[in-house]
Chains A and B, each alone.
Chain A
Amino acid sequence: MTLSALVSLFFGIVGLLATEPLATFGGFVKSVPSAGLGEFLAASYLGYGVMNWFARDTRDPVARRAIAFGNLAGWSLSLALALGEVLTGGAHTFGWPTVVLCAVFSAGWGYFAMQRARAHAHLRVRDAAG
């Protein structure tokens, strides 16, 4: 969770403060809509970073599971989109590194989401048994 928070914070801050250099370095086609959307995306990542950072010590099992599933949804959909972009010829400097990053964090959040779902189910069974 801490690692994911740091990665999100990094991409959020860099995306907000250096949108243009980042687009140039990445080989993206620069346009007004893409610059604006890039900033919205960076703001969203910054929010994830802050959320994951402050929630890293929470002991609430429901919240831990929710955060894991929320992050898993974001990362795995991003993985599918990034992979689709690379495979359909939209490759740029960030193409494969983005795919790898998304795959690593999808796997990580997937692991924690499943582990927490199992722990939650175990608790419910124990509660039901009295």
Chain B
Amino acid sequence: MSRSTFASIAALVSFVYAIPGLVATDAVASLYGVTLDRTATLLSQLLASSYLGYAIINWTTRFSTDPTVWRSLGIGNLVAWAISGIISTLIATSGLTNAMGWVGVGLSIVFTVGWGYFTFAVREAREAAAPVTAPR
């Protein structure tokens, strides 16, 4: 899978989480077996709006060939997904959500591994493949 395909999938997943999270917050929470109070509803909508930002950034930069862009977006996404994965796992194992909580864990693992791969493994391969120029 190419980096652009992966970035497109990541953007779509962020979009799919963002829009229902903004317009049908309580319905999404009930899917996870969670009831939201006023503070939790606001936090959930703020989270959805930040996911929309990720979706826009990942979608519109999916064909970028600038290594600085690759690295910055890769590390940013990696950090967010990795920490979210830890939080999702803690929440799912403590039984605060229903079985849907494990979907979040699975997504976090997939995207943490994916962003890690496209940020570090692919970069190392590109650097190793780059021709070495002799000093003049």
A→B interface (CB under 8 Å): 16, 23, 28-34, 36-55, 57-60, 62-63, 65-67, 69-75, 77-78, 81-82, 85, 90
Contacts and interface: CB of A to CB of B under 8 A. Distances in A.
Interface in B38-73: 38-40, 42-47, 49-57, 60-61, 63-64, 66, 68-69, 71-73
B61 A81 contact: no
B38 A37 contact: no
* B interface, over-half SS: helix
Nearest to A43: B83
Contact of B79 (A50, A57, A69): A50
A37 to B, nearest CB: 4
B80 interface: yes
Contacts, number: 156
Given A31-B37, A44-B84, A63 B49 contact: no
Contacts of B63: 62
Interface residues of B, number: 46
A70 B72 contact: no
A36 to B, nearest CB: 5
A62 to B, nearest CB: 6
A69 to B, nearest CB: 6
Nearest to A65: B60
7 contacts: A50-B75, A52-B72, A52-B76, A54-B72, A63-B64, A70-B60, A74-B52
